[in-house]
C-alpha cells in the first residue's frame, strides 16, 4: 500500500515536471515562431508605444495604431498604457533593464532631460532622413525643446505654456473684478477669496508648480547651476507669504493627491495648472466654471513650456520602424482627435486651430513666445525629491527655514 502511494506520488511529480517543462518549451516555440515570422520577407515589424494618459487618449492612439499599416505596411503598432506618470517613470527603468520596455514612448519634457543624459534615448538626427520624418511640420520652438547639445531626441507632439486657473463663480461672488496679472494682485485676491472652508489659492508643493513661480520672477534652475539664485528666492518667498498669510493650502494638507482635486472640490479658488485641467474637470466637476489666464507676473512674464514628444528607446529592436511609428502619431487625423480632447498640438498647420477648439485657453496663446523649458538638473528626480522634501519640511513640518536657506541646501546637493 505504502509502495503504491510512493509510486503514485512519483508519477504525479513526474507529470508536474513534464507539464512545467512543456510550458517552458511552449514559450520557446512561440518565440521561435515569432522570430521566424519577423525574419521572413515582407513580414511586419512589431513596434510598441508606451504612454500614460486617459482612456480617451488610449482610444485615439489605438485608432492610429489600427490604421498605421496604410502608411507603413511593414509596421504593426501595439499600444501600452501606464496608469499614471508616476507609475510610468517608476516602471520604465526596470522594464529597460529587463528588455521589455516599449520601443518608443510619449513623454513630457519635464522628465526627459535626465533620461537623455543617461543615454536611454536614441538621437534621431540620423533617422530623420532615412525614416522620412519632415521636421518642418512642427513649430520651431517645439522641435528645439527636444534638442540637447545640438542633437534631436524627440518628435514633438504637443506644446503649451503653464497657466493659472480661477474658479469663476468664487471670483465673482467675492466681488472681484479684473483677473490678476501679478502675484501681488493674486495675494490680495486670495485674502478676499479665503473663507472658513475655502482657501484663496492651492499651491501644490511640486516642482512643476514651483517652477512656474520661479519663471515669473525671471529665475530658473539652470540645469542645476542657478538653484539658489535671487530670483528663485523671491519666487519662493511669494509662496511662503501666501502660506503665512493663511490664504494658501497644499493638496496634501487637505488630504487630496494634487491641486486639481482641491480645485474641483471647491476647496480653493485659484491654482497654477495646465491644459489637463480641461479633461479632468469635465469628469470631476462638470458644472465648475473656470477661467485660464497666463501665469501672473512676479518681476517679468514667464512660465513653463510643457511639451510632449515621442522618443525612441536605445534598446528598440527596429529603431527606424520605431521612429516611423512615432512620426505617424503626429498625423493630422490623430492630432485633431487629440486636440478635441484638449491636448495642444505641435504641428504648425494645426496649432492655430487648437485655440479655436479650446477657446478657454486662448489667453495663453501669447505665452508661447515667453514660456521656457524646465531646465532641471541632469539628476532630475533627485532634484525634485530634494526640493519637495525641503519645502515640505518647512511648510508641513514646521521647520523655520527661509527660502534662501532651503534653496542653498538644495544647491549644495547639485553643485
Partner 1 sequence: MFRKARDSDFVVGWLFCLPFLALWAWWFFYPFLQSFVRSFQDANFAQLDAAKFIGLDNYVTILQDKAFYRAVLHSLEIVVIAVPVQTLLGLLMAILVNRKIKGKGLFRTLFFIPYITSTIAVTTVFMMLFKQGTFVTEFFGLFGFRNVTWFADTHYALLFVVILFIFQQVGFSMIVYLSGLQEVPRDLYEAGQIDGASRLAQFRYITVPSLKPITFFIVSVATILGFQIYDQIAAISRYGALGSPAGATSTVVTYFYQNGIRYMNIGYGSAAVVLFFIIIMIITFLQKKLLDDKG
- Binding residues for partner 1, rule: CB under 8 A, are 6, 9-10, 13, 16-17, 20, 86, 89-90, 93-94, 96-97, 115, 118-120, 204-206, 250-255, 257-258, 314, 379, 381-382, 384-385, 388-390, 392-393, 396-398
> Measured from the CB atom, is 118 or 362 closer to partner 1?
118
Residue 158 phi, psi dihedral angles, 5° rounding: -145, 160
Output 77 or 406, the one with its CB closest to partner 1: 406
Q: Which is nearer to partner 1, 188 or 388 (CB)?
A: 388
Length of the chain: 415
Q: How far is the CB of 131 from partner 1 (least distance, A)?
A: 23
- Phi, psi (rounded to 5 degrees) for 310: -105, 125
For residue 120, the minimal CB distance to partner 1 (Å) is 5
Alpha carbons 330 and 342: distance in angstroms, whole number: 15
Question: Is the backbone of residue 77 left (phi > 0), alpha (psi -120 to 50) or beta?
Answer: beta
Q: Which CB sits closer to partner 1, 289 or 317?
A: 317
Give 316-361 as a 3 state SS string. Answer: CCCHHHHHHHHHHCCCHHHHHHHHHCCCCCCECCCHHHHHHHCHHH
- DSSP symbol at 372: B
Residue with smaller CB distance to partner 1, 120 or 322: 120
Closer to partner 1 at the Cβ: 89 or 217? 89
| Closer of 139 and 394 to partner 1 (Cβ) | 394
Strand runs labelled E in 184-340: 199-202, 248-249, 268-273, 290-293, 305-312
DSSP 27-67: HHHHHHHHHHHHHSTTPPEEEEEEEE--HHHHHHHHHHHHH
Q: Cβ closer to partner 1: 6 or 59? A: 6
| Cα 362 to Cα 350: distance, rounded to the nearest angstrom | 15
Helices (H) and strands (E) counted in the chain, each on its own, are: 17, 12
In the chain the first and final C-alpha atoms are separated, in Å, by: 77
Residue where the block lists cell 533627485: 382
Smallest gap from residue 52 Cβ to partner 1 (A): 13
Cα–Cα distance measured from residue 264 to residue 266, given in angstroms and rounded to the nearest whole number: 5
Is 90 or 349 the residue whose CB approaches partner 1 more closely? 90
Residue 228, helix vs strand vs coil: coil
Q: Cell match 489667453: residue?
A: 363
Task: Find the largest Cα–Cα distance for the chain.
Answer: 94
CB of 7 to partner 1, least distance (A): 9
Q: What is d(CA 203, CA 178) in angstroms, rounded to the nearest whole number?
A: 21
Secondary structure (3-state) at 20: helix
Q: Which is nearer to partner 1, 143 or 227 (CB)?
A: 227
Amino acid at each position: 500500500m505504502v509502495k503504491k502511494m510512493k509510486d503514485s506520488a512519483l508519477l504525479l511529480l513526474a507529470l508536474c515536471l513534464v507539464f512545467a517543462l512543456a510550458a517552458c518549451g511552449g514559450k520557446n516555440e512561440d518565440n521561435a515562431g515569432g522570430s521566424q515570422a519577423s525574419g521572413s520577407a515582407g513580414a511586419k515589424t512589431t513596434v510598441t508605444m508606451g504612454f500614460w494618459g486617459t482612456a480617451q487618449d488610449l482610444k485615439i492612439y489605438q485608432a492610429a495604431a489600427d490604421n498605421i499599416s496604410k502608411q507603413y505596411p511593414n509596421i504593426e503598432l501595439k499600444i501600452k498604457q501606464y496608469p499614471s506618470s508616476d507609475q510610468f517613470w517608476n516602471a520604465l527603468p526596470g522594464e529597460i533593464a529587463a528588455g521589455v520596455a516599449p520601443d518608443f514612448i510619449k513623454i513630457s519634457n519635464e522628465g526627459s532631460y535626465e533620461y537623455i543624459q543617461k543615454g536611454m534615448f536614441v538621437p534621431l538626427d540620423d533617422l530623420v532622413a532615412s525614416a522620412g520624418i519632415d521636421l518642418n511640420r512642427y513649430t520651431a520652438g517645439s522641435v528645439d525643446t527636444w534638442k540637447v547639445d545640438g542633437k534631436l531626441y524627440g518628435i514633438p507632439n504637443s506644446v503649451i505654456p503653464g497657466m493659472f486657473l480661477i474658479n469663476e463663480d468664487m471670483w465673482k461672488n467675492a466681488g472681484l473684478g479684473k483677473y490678476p496679472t501679478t502675484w501681488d494682485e493674486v495675494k490680495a485676491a486670495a485674502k478676499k477669496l479665503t473663507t472658513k472652508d475655502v482657501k484663496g489659492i492651492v499651491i501644490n508643493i511640486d516642482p512643476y508648480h514651483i517652477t512656474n513661480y520661479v519663471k515669473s520672477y525671471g529665475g530658473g534652475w539652470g540645469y542645476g547651476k542657478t538653484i539658489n539664485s535671487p530670483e528663485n528666492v523671491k519666487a519662493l518667498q511669494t509662496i511662503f507669504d501666501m502660506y503665512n498669510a493663511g490664504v494658501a493650502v497644499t493638496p496634501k494638507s487637505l488630504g487630496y493627491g494634487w491641486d486639481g482635486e482641491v480645485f474641483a472640490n471647491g476647496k480653493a479658488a485659484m491654482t497654477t495648472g495646465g491644459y489637463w485641467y480641461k479633461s479632468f474637470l469635465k469628469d470631476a466637476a462638470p458644472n465648475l466654471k473656470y477661467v485660464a489666464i497666463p501665469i501672473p507676473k512676479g518681476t517679468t512674464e514667464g512660465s513653463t513650456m510643457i511639451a510632449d514628444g515621442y522618443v525612441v528607446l536605445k534598446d528598440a529592436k527596429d529603431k527606424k520602424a520605431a521612429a516611423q511609428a512615432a512620426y505617424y502619431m503626429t498625423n493630422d487625423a490623430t492630432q485633431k482627435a487629440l486636440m478635441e480632447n484638449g491636448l495642444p498640438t505641435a504641428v504648425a498647420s494645426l496649432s492655430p486651430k487648437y485655440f479655436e477648439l479650446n477657446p478657454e485657453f486662448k489667453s495663453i496663446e501669447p505665452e508661447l513666445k515667453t514660456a521656457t523649458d524646465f531646465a532641471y538638473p541632469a539628476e532630475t528626480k533627485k532634484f525634485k525629491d530634494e526640493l519637495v522634501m525641503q519645502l515640505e519640511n518647512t511648510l508641513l513640518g514646521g521647520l523655520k527655514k527661509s527660502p534662501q536657506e532651503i534653496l542653498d541646501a538644495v544647491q549644495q546637493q547639485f553643485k
